[in-house]
Amino acid sequence: MTDGSTDAGWFRDVDPGDPEAARDAIENGSAATPDDWPALAVEAGVAADEAEYYDRLRDATLSATAAAVETAERADDRQLAHAVRAMDDCERTANELAERVAEWAGTLFEDAEAGVDGALALVEREPDGPAERRVVGLAERVAGLIDERDALREYVERQAGVVAPNLAALGGPVLAARLIALAGGLESLAKMPSGTVQVLGAEDALFAHLRGRASSPKHGIIYTHEYVRGTAPDERGSASRALAGKLTIAARVDHYSGERKPELDEQLDERIRTIRARGDGE
């Protein structure tokens, strides 16, 4: 759309029975100046009246929005987020089911062990009777969940380096994927300040702090990184800030250029060495 003529609206040359063409016109059309588009549409015979024009515009807009959402959900970073969430779900469900298996198996087998390892050991048993068959069957479900967790982890570790090479290098592929999932996508993560990235995953603690019920959290899920977990408690706040700062930069580089920047790794390593040396000196 470049002028105010009756054939310059988004509806120009769009067949009323072709929603895909209407959607494309909404997505890609533009106009240099506003105009009375409903009146022009009626004048051009595209719509019988203003109400019909808005009905057609609504349908085309909804179709364009649905297509945009589908494209966004199919993006590699969203697939990575789904995978890491599924991986965590498999592990959590396996642990919960293993507890049930251990409790039940304890009534049937004298040597039954607790936890996932105990459930995996039961898979090797030859059941005797219906109760034992059901327990072994549940143990097999635990084994299946663990196998799926491992397969998902392999996918996450492989894909994270493709989607966010700098973030995966600095944080590790699983942490990178979890940060992307918590942020709602790589673009959202790239737009966050480092202070927000630092406490991602600690929302409950942060809300408790805002209500005056707890101290401010120093870190969220980045605590799982060795540079935070392996630093002396008195210096973990500094380590968290340093790590979050570099992860934020890495996410921005990954989103806006995708170019691998090894110097980010070196800068983070040097900063953590300085922080730890300060702690050792005290």
Q: What is the pLDDT of residues 13-54, one digit of tens each?
A: 677 667 677 777 776 666 667 677 777 777 777 777 878 777
Give the whole-angstrom CA distance, residue 185 versus residue 243.
Answer: 19
- Same domain assignment for residues 267 and 208: yes
- Same domain assignment for residues 175 and 276: yes
CA distances for 73 relative to 154, 186, 224, 246, angstroms: 21, 12, 27, 27
Neighbour tally for 118: CB within 10 Å: 20
With H, G, I as helix, E, B as strand and everything else as coil, classify residue 9: coil
- Same domain assignment for residues 184 and 281: yes
Q: Whole domain around residue 282: which residue ranges? A: 164-282
Encode pLDDT of 139-158 as tens digits: 999 999 999 999 999 999 99
What pLDDT does 3 receive? 42
First to last CA, the chain: 68
pTM exceeds 0.85, yes or no:
no
Q: Is residue 14 part of a domain?
A: no
Encode pLDDT of 186-218 as tens digits: 999 999 999 999 999 877 776 666 677 766 677
Contact between 59 and 19 (Cβ < 8 Å): yes
What is the CATH number for 213? 1.10.246.90
